[in-house]
Structure 1
Amino acid sequence: MSKRIVKSYCRACGKKTNSEVLAENQESHRDEYRCDISYQILQCLGCDTKSFRKVFEDIEAAYPTYDDEWEVPEEITVYPKAVEGHREIDDIWNLPEIVRVIYSEILMALREEAKVLAGLGLRAAVEAVCNDLQIPGRSLEVRINRLSTAGYISKNDSERLHGIRFMGNDAAHDIKKPKDEALSVALQIVEHLIASVYILEKKAQGTIDTTISKYEVFERIISEKLEDFSEGDEYPIAKYLGKDTRRVKEAISTLEQELINKITLGDYSRLSIGKVDTFQNSPQQLQHFIVENV
């Protein structure tokens, strides 16, 4: 028996592929409303992904064509439903729960074509990222701007996120259904935000040397570097950082001042504040720090 092959959307391949019909059950209705319904189990011939497909043939709505034949309209639904042409973010379980839940619900709304809810969800995703990063602000407008000034996203990214804010506001206040193209672009913008803040950040750590502007990262690297020094050593921060000084060049004064504040408040005990002096013919005097035995 030859295989029956149909074209069907594959959620794994992200496009229509040739799929084999592994099993099929057909129903014909000729009573109150004439229609044929096929229930099929499919397997993608490209990646072996399984899916379930329902084909509804509306005989009542059939119409003649130019070839003196009849065209029967079909309504095809594939399960699990997918957002056609879209590839979901990998490893979403590594995202913070608040972000992961909102992102998953956005995709659920898009699969069911609940466009107003999807517009609301995209706005909520931006709020969720701000909440997770503890970005303050009395409004989402302020918080988006602070995402940029805090260094999490670029100025261009923040401008695009304001577009998400406008879309969400329209969906919430005017019950305005976003257009398909707008939703597609908005989803890409939100996924870019998630990737930039969480996924690429995690992949970059320990893989490539990036610039450092966040104090938490600066403190962690300092603590790692101190393992190569002895108690009582007294040097400027650049000596402890070594080659990694280039990574903090743009923010060194701000990061060093925050380190001093942490030491003064007793929140960082690996170093104590030392003298202010020149070091190895430096053109200016530098703040020194003393290694403590912790």
Structure 2
Amino acid sequence: MTKQNVVTTPCCACDRDTRHDVLANHIESEYEYRVDTHYQIVECRGCGTKSFRKVIAWIEDVYQVEEDEWEVPKDVITYPSVLKGHKAVPDIDRVPSVVAEIYRQSLEAITVQSSILAGIGLRATIEAICNERKVTGRSLEQRIDKLAKAGLVSTIDADRLHAIRFLGNDAAHEIYVSDPNSLLIALRIIENLIVSLYILDGAASGALDTLIKNYTEFETLLSSKLSVATKGDELPLSRILGRDARRFHGYLKSHETQLISNITSGTYTKLSLGKLDSYAGSKEKFQHFVIL
């Protein structure tokens, strides 16, 4: 196949209009009502991605734009479809499979302008996130409120999720067709939620000193500290943890209570209970632990 000409058309990899070489062009004509349909294989001059382009030229409806210039109305369909200017969630493979799949299908519905299905899909994405996070309730309204109460989303974000719930309900029950701009805004809200809950959370835990609220994570950190500590030392918990004690942000006391219980029952064997005494000149007395 030889390159015949150059067209400007959306690129599914560049997410914008770029110049493409036409690698192949097959034309079918309809003469009763003059219409030419071009079936084209095109290649982006920027990234080299190949795609399919269908151009319907309505020759019967040609109109004059200048004294010696005429314009033929055209409908252009590209495959894969392109949502120009939009970048999908990065590292989507790190997101739980159910959430990732319903997000992908919702994005595809928006891209191909299946507005009713897109509205339902965006609402279903919220449902999937609630299921994955084990947030229960008799209705999605209650579950969104619980997301906020659990601190998984802010109050403002919860209000936005309710708006998407309304959009999805209208699509499902009233067969309401949302306008493209509303869907794009709703998509952006869902993507920000996915990135916050799954992408940034995972990245931050490996690169930043994030807060630790879960006792299991506390015990894991404590064990890592003890692996390099001197056996026989008798120290308060804050001294063993060092600067990482700040990561528990009000949870350290409850974790210490659980730790003492586990030591007493014999389920945690890397420490034993020591004296109750002051430390570093403080007036308050702290529980000390002996490193085994």
Structure 1 counterpart of 2:196: 196
Q: Deviations over 1:8-35 (max 9, x none)?
A: 11122221111222222222222x3321
Q: Distance in 1 between matches of 2:123 and 2:28?
A: 43
- The one-letter amino acid of 1:284's match is E
Structure 1 counterpart of 2:159: 159
The Cα shift of 1:119 comes to 1.0
Q: Distance in 2 between matches of 1:264 and 1:120?
A: 53
CA contact (8 A) 2:3 2:22 kept: no
Provide TM-score, normalisation by structure 2.
0.86
Q: Is 1:281 matched up with 2:271?
A: no
The Cα shift of 1:237 comes to 2.6
- The one-letter amino acid of 2:147's match is L
- The one-letter amino acid of 1:253's match is K
Map 1:21-36 onto structure 2 (within 5 A). 21-30=22-31, 32-36=32-36
The Cα shift of 1:281 comes to 2.8
What's the RMSD between the two structures over aligned residues?
A: 2.8
Off by >6 Å, runs of 4+ in structure 1: 261-267
Q: Measured at CA, do residues 228 and 4 of structure 1 come closer, stay the same or move farther in structure 2, by a change above 3 Å?
A: same
Mark the runs of 5 or more structure 2 residues left unpaired by the alignment.
none
Comparing 126-135 with 185-194, greater Cα deviation is found at: 126-135
Comparing 102-111 with 17-26, greater Cα deviation is found at: 17-26
- The one-letter amino acid of 1:112's match is V
The Cα shift of 1:258 comes to 5.2
The Cα shift of 1:222 comes to 2.2
Q: Deviations over 1:238-279 (max 9, x none)?
A: 122211112223433344445556667877665566654433
Mark the runs of 5 or more structure 1 residues left unpaired by the alignment.
none
Q: Distance in 1 between matches of 2:260 and 2:135?
A: 24
Provide TM-score, normalisation by structure 1.
0.86
Percent identity for Structure 1 against Structure 2: 45
- The one-letter amino acid of 1:147's match is L
Map 1:1-294 onto structure 2 (within 5 A). 4-30=5-31, 32-65=32-65, 67=67, 69-229=69-229, 234-257=234-257, 259=259, 270=270, 276-289=276-289, 291=291
Q: How many residues align?
A: 291
The Cα shift of 1:178 comes to 1.6
Q: Distance in 2 between matches of 1:2 and 1:220?
A: 61
- The one-letter amino acid of 1:7's match is T
CA contact (8 A) 2:17 2:84 kept: no
Q: Distance in 2 between matches of 1:265 and 1:14?
A: 60
Q: Measured at CA, do residues 165 and 214 of structure 1 come closer, stay the same or move farther in structure 2, by a change above 3 Å?
A: farther
* Structure 1 residue matching 2:153: 3-state secondary structure: coil
Q: Distance in 2 between matches of 1:14 and 1:225?
A: 48
Comparing 122-131 with 143-152, greater Cα deviation is found at: 143-152
- The one-letter amino acid of 2:39's match is Y
CA contact (8 A) 1:36 1:59 kept: yes
